[in-house]
Amino acid sequence: MEKNFDVIVIGSGHNGLVNACYLQKAGLNVLVLEKNDWIGGAAVSRELHPGILYSNCSYVCSLFRPEIMRDLELPKHGLQIVAIEGGTVFTRDGDYLASFRNYHAKKRELERFSVKDSESYSRYSRDILKQCRFIQPLLMRTAPDPASFKFRDLSEMLYLLRKVNDLTASELADTIRFWTMSISDFLDEYFENDVIKASLAVSGIIGTALGPMSPGTAYVLLHHYMGEVDGSIGAWGYARGGMGAISKALTSSFRAMGGTLLNNSEVEKVDIRGARVRGVILKNGDEYLAKNVVSNADVKRTFLKLTDPEHLPPNFIKKVNNFKIRGSSGKVNIALDSMPKFPGVSDTNPCLKGDIHFTDSIERMERAYDDWKMGTWSRDPFLDMMIPTLTDPTMAPPGKHFMSCFVQYCPPKVGGKNWTKENKDAFGETVIQQIADYSPGFKDKILHMEVRTPKELEEEVGLTEGNIFQGELTFDQLLFNRPIPGYAQYRSPIKGLYMCGSSTHPGGGVMGAPGRNAAVEILKDLNLSGSDIRDAYEVL
């Protein structure tokens, strides 16, 4: 087999694949190396129980950029996104708050809990939409380095300033406050009912190592709100065939363009000679050569494990070490013999087709976070559950179901020590017990289940400390600070070594933007035109 390539991409996560596709499309000869025998990193569908497909890591698709879908012709390669119908929060007193895609149905349901809040909801939606509009174009642009005097950084800064200048005084004030507030304080300005607030606060905390009362979480809400299925902001979708369908479509697109992808090829080291990349060396001793290497691994893995420290400035290594990447969530994936019963809601109610929660107050969410801060999993965890098989029949035989439970909070280490089997079982039991409290007979329906703590995420997928965003989404690690000040433009201190994972701007979620943006920068360095890669704001 050929050993010489123009570009080697380490890791076949969705960002790695997106990156590889764009580079291959621009005429380069690209090799993607994946350590596992499956493709897709954390966007996978795996048959862990006969006949039932599991989206066992990421479980919902909302952020994936439509521009990328169009550029890479993913629908042609089999990708289909189905919008999610609704969602529901079960309360402790046996009631539930449903949400529906239909605006009026949603408002009617809110009215049942609070007439005032139902009225505020319009104002709330409008304000969120404004913030989404403001930030969306920034996602698909490389962040400028504010400390640099280079022309492109200055002109990009100017673009940002102009965008800010376009706002009215009052909008600007709202924007700054929105970016800095806690989701709890933010919702307090609109709503009075605790269940409603809890149901809306969800998006502010998913995947973050923060509680709803921590400043900065209102911004995270936006990160989940920018989903764009069918062009409607805030709508979430399932990939038909599970999250692996995204990776599958990307792979198919990549191979159709002539790219090479190798499984079971774990990279041991990036080969660096004289401050320049020469290629990579695999665990099995194989060597592949390329002048450019792009790492889809997180910044810690890339620079602390795959690169010899002697090639990096000590100051840079220190900053990589200080990068915050604490895992905060776990997952319990369950195969079910039949649809679980929730008293008061019929099986066919569309609200069950979306995210199901049991956490009915901000205080319960925040307390769940307090447990994590003290180094243990939440005793009363916050669950974000989905039953995608209600919407997508291709994932399980008729009548059977796959249920994905995203669990927050779950620490990378328990009380400073590594996870043990007992810990893991106890964690799984906590989650199952909570579901069983709300759904009688639930335990009897379980055919198979898989418990995933940050430890499993790190070992299998390679996410350091099991952080699903490859680094926390706090201000000190966003925009030009992501991952490290001065290196926010996908380049590294080593010539030819790039990053394209979620550790880079604009961060986590199955979005694909980091992979695409990195490709733009690489093509710039190679003096190749990526003219068919359009700026996001032109599309809008």
Per CB under 8 A, residues contacting another protein are 146-148, 169-170, 172-173, 176-177, 180-181, 185, 188-189, 210, 213-216, 322, 324, 363, 366-367, 370, 373-374, 474-476, 480-481, 485-486
Q: Which is nearer to another protein, 181 or 332 (CB)?
A: 181
Contact 254, 19 (CB under 8 A): no
Alpha-carbon dihedral 210, 199, 501, 255, rounded to 10 degrees: 160
Q: Which is nearer to another protein, 213 or 510 (CB)?
A: 213
The CA angle 407-411-417, to the nearest 5 degrees, is 140
E-assigned strand segments in 194-337: 228-229, 232-233, 237-239, 260-262, 267-273, 276-282, 287-295, 329-336
Q: How far is the CB of 220 from another protein (least distance, A)?
A: 11
Q: Which is nearer to another protein, 3 or 123 (CB)?
A: 123
Q: How far is the CB of 147 from another protein (least distance, A)?
A: 5
Q: How far is the CB of 315 from another protein (least distance, A)?
A: 8
Q: How far is the CB of 324 from another protein (least distance, A)?
A: 6
Q: Which is nearer to another protein, 341 or 367 (CB)?
A: 367
Q: Which is nearer to another protein, 188 or 380 (CB)?
A: 188
Q: What is the sign of the dihedral through the CA atoms of 514, 515, 520 and 524?
A: positive
Q: How far is the CB of 171 from another protein (least distance, A)?
A: 10
Q: What is the sign of the dihedral through the CA atoms of 36, 42, 48 and 53?
A: negative
Q: What are phi and psi of 344, to 5 degrees?
A: 95, -15
Q: Which is nearer to another protein, 288 or 323 (CB)?
A: 323
Q: What are phi and psi of 198, to 5 degrees?
A: -65, -40
Q: Which is nearer to another protein, 354 or 381 (CB)?
A: 381
Q: How far is the CB of 163 from another protein (least distance, A)?
A: 15
Closest CA to 533 of 515, 511, 506, 509: 515
Our measurement of the distance from residue 34's CA atom to the centroid of its chain's CA atoms, rounded to an integer in Å, reads 19
What distance in Å separates the CA atoms of residue 296 and residue 307, rounded to the nearest whole number? 14
The CA–CA distances, whole Å, from 12 to 250, 265, 462, 468 equal 10, 11, 11, 15
Q: Which is nearer to another protein, 180 or 349 (CB)?
A: 180
Instruction: Find the length of the chain.
Output: 540
Q: How far is the CB of 180 from another protein (least distance, A)?
A: 4
Q: How far is the CB of 527 from another protein (least distance, A)?
A: 27
